[in-house]
Chains A and B, each alone.
Chain A
Amino acid sequence: MTNSKYLVPLLALLMLTMFPLVQFFSNQNYIIHLLLYAFFYIIMTSSWNIIGGYGGFISIGHNAFLCVGAYVAGYAAVRYGISPFYLIGLSGLVAGIFGFIVGLITLRVKGPSFIISSIALIMIMRIVFDHWDLVGGASGITLPFNSLPVQWSKLPHYYSFLFLALAAIYLNWYVRHSKFGLALRAVSHDETRSAVAGINVKMIKVTAFALSAFLIGSAGAVWADYLTYIRPNMFLVILIAANIVLMVILGGKGTVTGPIVGTVIFILFNEIILTFFGATELNILLTGLLLVITLLYFPDGIVGSLKNKNILPKFLDWG
């Protein structure tokens, strides 16, 4: 039984790493797309969880950092012809610094004020990007296609996202079990008492925020290349942020595996809805409904609720 804690994740990882081999036999691009889409959202939810779950700062504007990362990579790709894959680190860094500056301002307030400021951030960026001619304004940037044959064309993104997702999950685990994470959770409970205990409250908060911005920004670079064109209204819409929040809360915020579970379940749920209803406005309705129901009846999320009842499978119990 104890081995299953390591066995199941390792097995899953092995399968995911090997999965693209099926491309030798038949073109499974759609499944690959779904998987990399899931990795992509796991990066975002896990990063969000650092500041939203452990830190208690609920942001409905984290897609701002995705946008920054995507635009850094997109701009460099078009202007200097550098492949976005070389710019993953740089995009992340720029997004991280941007997050650091934003955090210095918005993390001074908490609770509802913070949530509102995160929405305002998206609105401001939307106006700025819509008017910013250097990066194409409202019509955005078109990136060069990659030249790989169609059944291999998604693989660079697949492995980049897989790698980044692992990094995000590891970072989550690290934050959960490190002294830094302990301080962060202390801060989320009571800032004054944490300060009295010798914690540099401001730095802890802002660092956590920048860290999560960094990871999301890195993912933005890959996402920009995957989409091949980027426009402000693809990133700076509240629905993406709402999805992130919903996935984390569905899985269980403040847990290591919660964001993963929430993301996988939500993407499956979304697929089912798309199959039955097609892409309609009902999508946003059902997302809202799921969010309300989760908040009302399982505020601790799936992982949190199972943990409370002591029936959480071992391989999901990473703290």
Chain B
Amino acid sequence: MIYILQVIILGLCLGLVYALMATGLTLIFGVMRIVNLAHPIFILCGAYVAYWLFVLYGLDPILAIPIAAIVCGVLGAIVYKLVFEKDAGSQKYSEMTVLLTFGTAMILDGTLSFFFKNTQRVTSPSYATDAFFIGDIFLPTAQLYSGLVSLSLIVALALFLKFSTLGVAIRATSLSRVNAELVGINVKFVCLFSFILGCALAGCAGSLVSFVFSFFPAKHFEWIAVLMSLVVLGGMGSILGAVTAAIVLSVLASLVGAFLAPSWSTMVFFLALFVILLIRPQGMFGKYLS
């Protein structure tokens, strides 16, 4: 019983990290209707920034979050200007842009592979091997910290979207571009801003990921499928939905990993995606993209 509880709590912590990974993606999709397959590679970029800052300067990955966010944000701005700006508003927008993001992911993947090779890496701050004990429940510090930091970042994002003027403008734009423009919102700016914010969130997630998972450049392909399943399941564009999906699926995946075999655990995400397609084919996608 304690074991199950333990597995659930670990799943919860990881779920929060997955949730943070998915929020940026959801934000970008909500506003720009871009399914950004390059999002996971941005997360990896953030992870590499945190890794090298730790290895070279001994900077704690949690403290490296702002730097990773800035690096990924800038990278995002460059990618947006070069790749997506020209295409915004074109006819074949959604399908062609998915392939565009896919191409972008391959470019970044190749670049990272070129510099860092396919070595598995993980940041190992002092607390990486520590653990808390609550009664008989054992809580690895790294997982706990990453979960808590993710949670606070997600809450901060939610508050920003709920209460700031720009936040409401972002939500308004995601509901209808034309209507947003009609109340005087500079939609192109909102798009650029959301894209940068989404990439910065990927950077934040990357810093946390760097000490929770071991990573290497090609890892992002697996994450593409994992994150997409969360976003589809949560109802495209709904941050709350993606967060819920992340937590539920991650707990399920932990249980599968604990009782079946760890290598089967990601199956939960992919199967969930198929099940959703089976029972609710329009997904939540239908609402926006049909």
Are A and B interaction partners?
A: yes
A-side residues, CB < 8 A to B, are 56, 58, 60, 105-106, 108-109, 111-113, 115-117, 119-120, 122-124, 127, 130-131, 237-238, 242, 245, 249, 280-292, 295-296, 299
Minimum C-beta distance from B181 to chain A (A): 23
* A286:B110 contact, CB within 8 angstroms: yes
Partner of B106, one of A105, A131, A287, A295: A287
- Residues of B in contact (CB 8 Å), total 49
Partner of A296, one of B83, B106, B277: B83
Partner of B92, one of A117, A127, A287, A299: A299
- A119 CA to B86 CA, complexed, in Å: 27
Of all chain B residues, the one with the shortest Cβ separation from A58 is B95
- Contacts A109-B277, A242-B102 known; list 9 others, CB within 8 Å: A112-B94, A120-B270, A127-B263, A130-B263, A284-B110, A285-B107, A287-B106, A289-B107, A291-B100
- 30 of the cross-chain contacts (CB-CB < 8 Å) are A58-B95, A58-B98, A105-B277, A106-B274, A108-B278, A111-B94, A113-B277, A113-B285, A113-B289, A115-B98, A116-B35, A116-B273, A119-B228, A120-B229, A123-B266, A130-B263, A245-B99, A281-B117, A282-B114, A284-B106, A285-B106, A288-B102, A288-B103, A288-B109, A289-B103, A291-B99, A291-B102, A292-B100, A295-B99, A296-B83
Minimum C-beta distance from A17 to chain B (A): 35
- Max chain A CB contacts within 10 Å: which of B103, B107, B278? B103
Minimum C-beta distance from B169 to chain A (A): 24
User: Per-residue CB proximity of B238-268 to A under 8 Å, as 1/0?
Assistant: 0000000000000000000000010110110
A-B pairs, top 4 by smallest CB distance, nearest first, are A285-B110, A288-B106, A281-B113, A108-B281
Hey, which chain B residues are within 8 Å of A56, CB to CB?
95
Instruction: Tell me, yes or no, whether B221 is within 8 Å of chain A by CB.
Output: yes
* A117:B277 contact, CB within 8 angstroms: yes
Instruction: Tell me, yes or no, whether B159 is within 8 Å of chain A by CB.
Output: no
Minimum C-beta distance from B289 to chain A (A): 5
Of all chain A residues, the one with the shortest Cβ separation from B220 is A238
* A131:B83 contact, CB within 8 angstroms: no
* B114:A109 contact, CB within 8 angstroms: no
- A237 CA to B283 CA, complexed, in Å: 26
Hey, which chain A residues are within 8 Å of B282, CB to CB?
109
* A296:B99 contact, CB within 8 angstroms: no
- Max chain B CB contacts within 10 Å: which of A60, A112, A127? A112
Minimum C-beta distance from A9 to chain B (A): 29
Minimum C-beta distance from A285 to chain B (A): 3
Instruction: Tell me, yes or no, whether B222 is within 8 Å of chain A by CB.
Output: yes
* A115:B35 contact, CB within 8 angstroms: yes
- A111 CA to B287 CA, complexed, in Å: 13
- A249 CA to B263 CA, complexed, in Å: 35
Given A108-B277, A131-B263: A291 touches B225 (CB 8 Å cut-off) = no
Partner of B87, one of A131, A283, A287, A296: A296
* B264:A106 contact, CB within 8 angstroms: no
Hey, which chain B residues are within 8 Å of A131, CB to CB?
261, 263-264
- A130 CA to B264 CA, complexed, in Å: 10
- A104 CA to B88 CA, complexed, in Å: 32
* B228:A116 contact, CB within 8 angstroms: yes
- A237 CA to B225 CA, complexed, in Å: 13
Instruction: Tell me, yes or no, whether B78 is within 8 Å of chain A by CB.
Output: no
- A131 CA to B109 CA, complexed, in Å: 27
Given A58-B95, A58-B98, A117-B273: A291 touches B266 (CB 8 Å cut-off) = no
- A147 CA to B283 CA, complexed, in Å: 53
* A105:B278 contact, CB within 8 angstroms: yes
* A288:B281 contact, CB within 8 angstroms: no
Hey, which chain B residues are within 8 Å of A242, CB to CB?
102, 106
Given A105-B277, A296-B86: A111 touches B103 (CB 8 Å cut-off) = no
Given A116-B35, A117-B277, A123-B270: A292 touches B110 (CB 8 Å cut-off) = no
* A288:B87 contact, CB within 8 angstroms: no
Hey, which chain B residues are within 8 Å of A119, CB to CB?
221, 224-225, 228
* B222:A123 contact, CB within 8 angstroms: yes
Hey, which chain B residues are within 8 Å of A290, CB to CB?
103
Partner of B225, one of A109, A116, A299: A116
* A113:B232 contact, CB within 8 angstroms: yes
* B104:A288 contact, CB within 8 angstroms: yes
Minimum C-beta distance from B120 to chain A (A): 16
- A286 CA to B105 CA, complexed, in Å: 12
* A281:B110 contact, CB within 8 angstroms: yes
- A92 CA to B227 CA, complexed, in Å: 32
* B225:A60 contact, CB within 8 angstroms: no
Instruction: Tell me, yes or no, whether B271 is within 8 Å of chain A by CB.
Output: yes
Partner of A249, one of B99, B104, B228: B99
Given A112-B94, A131-B263, A287-B106: A123 touches B225 (CB 8 Å cut-off) = yes
Given A285-B106, A288-B104, A289-B107: A111 touches B274 (CB 8 Å cut-off) = no
Of all chain A residues, the one with the shortest Cβ separation from B34 is A112
Minimum C-beta distance from B84 to chain A (A): 10
Instruction: Tell me, yes or no, whether B96 is within 8 Å of chain A by CB.
Output: yes
Those of B185-203 within 8 Å (CB) of chain A: none
Instruction: Tell me, yes or no, whether B176 is within 8 Å of chain A by CB.
Output: no
* A127:B228 contact, CB within 8 angstroms: no
Hey, which chain B residues are within 8 Å of A237, CB to CB?
221
* A285:B267 contact, CB within 8 angstroms: no
Of all chain A residues, the one with the shortest Cβ separation from B278 is A105
- A238 CA to B102 CA, complexed, in Å: 10
